[in-house]
Amino acid sequence: MIIIPFFAPGLIGIIVVFFCYLALLIAAHGFGNLKKMAKLMVLFWIGTFLIWIIIPYLRHSPWSYSGSALLATRIVTFVLAGLTFGTITRVEEFTYGLTRLKIPYKGAFALTLGFRLVPLFYQNLQTIVEAQKSRGVDLDNASLFRKAGLYLPVISILISYGLRNADIMAMALEAKGFGYSPQRTFFMQPGFGFLDIAILMIASATIVGLYLLH
């Protein structure tokens, strides 16, 4: 899903890929996650679109609106691919997959820890914002620059929360003997069946076909 957008032929091709990924995400019951990320994805698209217009213009390099739109849509398609992965894959499955690729468990745990901490940070952020609002801080109706200034203390409090949670997590892992044995056992033992092979073949054929078309 990450490779396919690189070979999408032109703006129309990347738009088709985007809507295919969107359909896959909705079919995977990821509409709730899509709603949470919608504003950020729009900002990604607008920011990338403007960057690929302004920078070539300042450098006196050739540029076009369609090319900028293609690159911006490609970035958002990457985000959709990651969102789909996060929707259909549990953290434990991701950790197990990494260990099957012979990555040490400590490294796999560190990589997957980000998936666990993002919801926690988001929850802490909501709590801090609600606490600020209860103290009379108007974060909704302020101007853009005023809102940026009001969010500075929110970010500092969020960093403090993160440091405290990291310390608590480190003590909890030490108390449970994390890293005592390099060999880990897993409750889950997922296999690699016919459906996995079929999806892998379809994805590989799609990548090869787009590469030849490109």
The amino acid at residue 178 is F
- Average pLDDT of 44-72? 90
If residue 138 lies in a helix (H) or strand (E), which one and from where to where?
none
- Average pLDDT of 108-133? 80
pLDDT above 90 coverage of the chain, percent: 21
Q: Is the pTM of this model over 0.75?
A: no
CB of 135 closer than 8 Å to CB of 214: no
pLDDT at 1: 86
CA distances from 189 to 96, 110, 137 (A): 9, 21, 50
Q: Provide the 3-class DSSP secondary structure of residue 214.
A: coil
Domain locations along the chain: 4-88, 93-175
- Look at residue 182 and tell me whether its pLDDT is greater than 70: no
